[in-house]
Amino acid sequence: MIVGIILGGRLGYALFYNLNYYFENPIEIFMVWNGGMSFHGGLIGVIIASLIYSKKHKINNFIFLDLVALTAPIGIFFGRLANFINSELYGIPTEVPWAVTFVQIDNLARHPSQLYEAILEGIILFLILLYFRKKNYLENPGLISGLFLIFYSIFRFIVEFFRVPDEQLGYLFFKLSMGQIISLVFILFGIILFYFKNENKQIN
């Protein structure tokens, strides 16, 4: 799982967010200390790692993915707090009373988008998944994973409106960021996964 997160996160960033640069400088893909990780890429890495492990040991891979989904919001919460402390992934300029000035960046008052994500993708997402866990959704592996994909992606899509897009990409189709476009794809996958797993639950 750890290897999947690191490799997936790094390769995802290179492919989704800075393909031209890393295509010209492929050796820098391995320079993870220079920063640049993609959550969606890390998630794909976890899925691939889970598929490999479960196939080798003949276990339902969704058992692992559901457990990861349940605990992931905790890591996301602290990760976004770290982004806030390090003045990373900051928000767009604003005049709201709770605006924050990231002095390492500039003197503009900005949305603390990292804290928005910590609350939505960390605390609230954790409570949502915990609620469905108590509804015995773990009895049918895959339902929790589907819910994670749906709610995380919805929260990420919303927060991206308050977050500065990646400088090298800016806004793309329909003035959406790359994070929002990828989130829409993951919402679709989450809905499909939840639908089919829920159908199996009803049949069983």
Find out whether 202 and 195 touch, Cβ atoms under 8 Å. no
The ranges of the chain with pLDDT < 70 are 200-204
Q: What is the pLDDT of residue 93?
A: 95
pLDDT tens readout for residues 131-145: 998 887 778 888 999
DSSP string, 140-193: STTHHHHHHHHHHHHHHHHHGGGBPPPTTT---GGG--HHHHHHHHHHHHHHHH
Q: What is the pLDDT of residue 200?
A: 66
Q: What is the pLDDT of residue 80?
A: 93
Q: What is the pLDDT of residue 154?
A: 96
pLDDT tens readout for residues 165-195: 887 788 888 889 988 999 999 999 999 999 8
Residue 61: alpha-carbon gap to chain centroid: 20
Q: What is the pLDDT of residue 180?
A: 93
Q: What is the pLDDT of residue 28?
A: 82
Enter the pTM of the model. Answer: 0.87
Find out whether 9 and 41 touch, Cβ atoms under 8 Å. yes
Q: What is the pLDDT of residue 204?
A: 53
